[in-house]
Copies of this chain bind each other. A is one copy, B any other.
Amino acid sequence: MTLYVNLAELLGSRIEQGLYRPGDRLPSVRALSAEHGVSLSTVQQAYRHLEDQGLALPRPKSGYFVPEEREKPALPMVTRTAQRPVEVSQWDQVLELISVAPGSEGLIQLGRGRPDHTSPTLKPLLRTLSRLSRRQDLNGLTYGCIHGHLPLREQISRLLVDSGCQIPADDIVITTGCHEALSAAIRAICEPGDIVAVDSPSFHGVMQALKGFGMKALELPTDPLTGISLEALELALEQWPIKAIQLTPNCNNPMGYIMPDANKRALIALAQRYDVAIIEDDVYGELAYHYPRPRTIKSYDDDGRVLLCSSFSKTVVPGLRIGWIAPGRYQERVLHMKYMGTGTTAQLPQLALTEYLEAGHYEPHIRRMRAQYMRSRDQMIDWVSRYFPAGTRVSRPQGSFMIWVEMPEGFDSIRLNRELKPHKIQIAPGSIFSAAGKYRNCLRMSYASKPDAKTEAAVRVVGETVARLLAEHA
């Protein structure tokens, strides 16, 4: 990474962490150049970079300042859950969300978790894919090995080091997206009727897998900044025969928090004490706004009980459907579940991704996306605070590109979606993120696509519709 980006990220994280508060004067160019032993122009570049990210504001003749920020809406409340195992429902609502073809009839899908795939940093991947596609002699056209393409697994093993993991390529299995990784992990550990403890709200894909496999979800109270309540988890482990804990600790979907490392360590200790497996969804972990990226729970796992699931669907593009799993001690079972689900995973996208990673195109791409999504987050929070009624609560995502919005109890986000149909806007109703159908007063919106007038107008319509429904409700 270049010097100025390093410096910018350092300053950026200090600002985010509140070392410099809104309105504060930032260190002078000269001071920073001396402190970090870099040239004045490097510091100036770093400041311009921060300026682009909306983190620094130049004032003529007086240097750079931390921008005054508008009053932010309150955080969502710590979720309250049933804290007993429940059957999963809401398939119909999920189906509505995923039945829409991309870009169909100009529908603005604020609800769906699609990354921005328009970045120029993806061009090398497309060129490679295009070149490989022409090569008929290539094994990309036939069945691969059930474990996946070895050079790709070696690249993933390298990437995992940033998350604190030392995982050899042989302990990684390529899957058809993170979706298959999670599905195989669940089936590898649990039988129908088994209980899985989950963070709440939680990814609807996992909820629906539990439903389909006839398992029960035990939803745990979750803090919008630190994740699941370990106290509640310990109580649950005492009370119920829990088979596995499934959660998304880094850049959580839908709440965006990053679980503190201390909690991750404590979670491992609990899992070991009660001898349960942990199914860790890290699909957004690489999109944390601060460098270095957060550690995985897997990085604290010393007896192979964590099944780490991820993919390139959020970091690169979903269309390749390439994910992976580091299943620890459960590898043989996971391989079987993966085989019976889809057989081997497509080769061609694996070969293209391997070249993309080997050529070093991934790192600059991911840095760019992190910065873009962080800016978009601030813009989205700004829009929500501007266009949604007072009393609306909003998450503070520390990564990825999704925001969780909480309206007062009694609000109906499914009705909201119906009202938004004529406007060709779709949000994700909160209830699909709960096994029991809670959070109907919440919604999830994506800010992956670059903020533009069209998106702003859409958010405005959502906010105004929310206000109208609340008024009727009152």
User: Which A residues have a C-beta under 8 Å from some C-beta of B?
Assistant: 91, 94-95, 98-104, 112, 114-115, 117-118, 122-123, 126-127, 129-131, 133-137, 139-147, 149-150, 176-177, 179-180, 183, 187, 191-192, 205, 208-209, 211-214, 313, 317-321, 335-337, 339-349
CB of A141 within 8 A of CB of B345, answer: no
CB of B176 within 8 A of CB of A342, answer: yes
Cα distance A328–B247 when bound, in Å? 36
Cβ contacts under 8 Å, A179 to chain B: 341-343
Cβ contacts under 8 Å, A122 to chain B: 136, 141
Cα distance A209–B115 when bound, in Å? 33
CB of B143 within 8 A of CB of A123, answer: no
B112, B137, B208: the one contacting A336 at CB < 8 Å is B208
Cα distance A300–B220 when bound, in Å? 50
> Known pairs A209-B340, A341-B342. 9 more at Cβ < 8 A?
A99-B147, A102-B143, A102-B144, A118-B136, A130-B130, A140-B319, A180-B342, A212-B336, A320-B346
Cα distance A147–B98 when bound, in Å? 9
Cα distance A102–B351 when bound, in Å? 13
B142, B213, B336: the one contacting A91 at CB < 8 Å is B336
B142, B313, B339: the one contacting A318 at CB < 8 Å is B142
Cα distance A233–B126 when bound, in Å? 52
Min C-beta distance of A342 to chain B, whole Å: 5
CB of A212 within 8 A of CB of B187, answer: yes
CB of B209 within 8 A of CB of A317, answer: no
Min C-beta distance of A126 to chain B, whole Å: 5
Cα distance A162–B363 when bound, in Å? 50
CB of A319 within 8 A of CB of B141, answer: yes
Min C-beta distance of A344 to chain B, whole Å: 7
A136-B150 contact, Cβ under 8 Å, with A100-B145, A340-B205: no
**CB nearest to A208 among chain B residues:** B340
A98-B321 contact, Cβ under 8 Å, with A183-B342, A212-B340, A340-B183: no
Cβ contacts under 8 Å, A205 to chain B: 339-340, 343
A98-B183 contact, Cβ under 8 Å, with A127-B134, A130-B131: no
Cα distance A101–B139 when bound, in Å? 9
Cα distance A51–B139 when bound, in Å? 32
Cβ contacts under 8 Å, A213 to chain B: 340
Cα distance A292–B141 when bound, in Å? 28
Q: What would be 17 A-B contacts, judged by CB atoms less than 8 Å apart?
A: A95-B336, A95-B339, A98-B145, A98-B343, A101-B145, A101-B149, A102-B143, A102-B145, A104-B145, A118-B136, A130-B130, A140-B319, A143-B319, A179-B343, A187-B212, A321-B345, A321-B346
CB of A98 within 8 A of CB of B340, answer: no
Min C-beta distance of A193 to chain B, whole Å: 9
Cα distance A154–B131 when bound, in Å? 29
B146, B177, B211, B319: the one contacting A342 at CB < 8 Å is B177
Min C-beta distance of A99 to chain B, whole Å: 6
**CB nearest to A119 among chain B residues:** B136
B142, B214, B341: the one contacting A183 at CB < 8 Å is B341
CB of B176 within 8 A of CB of A141, answer: no
Cβ contacts under 8 Å, A337 to chain B: 212
B136, B149, B317: the one contacting A117 at CB < 8 Å is B136
Min C-beta distance of A341 to chain B, whole Å: 5
Cα distance A208–B317 when bound, in Å? 31
CB of A141 within 8 A of CB of B117, answer: yes
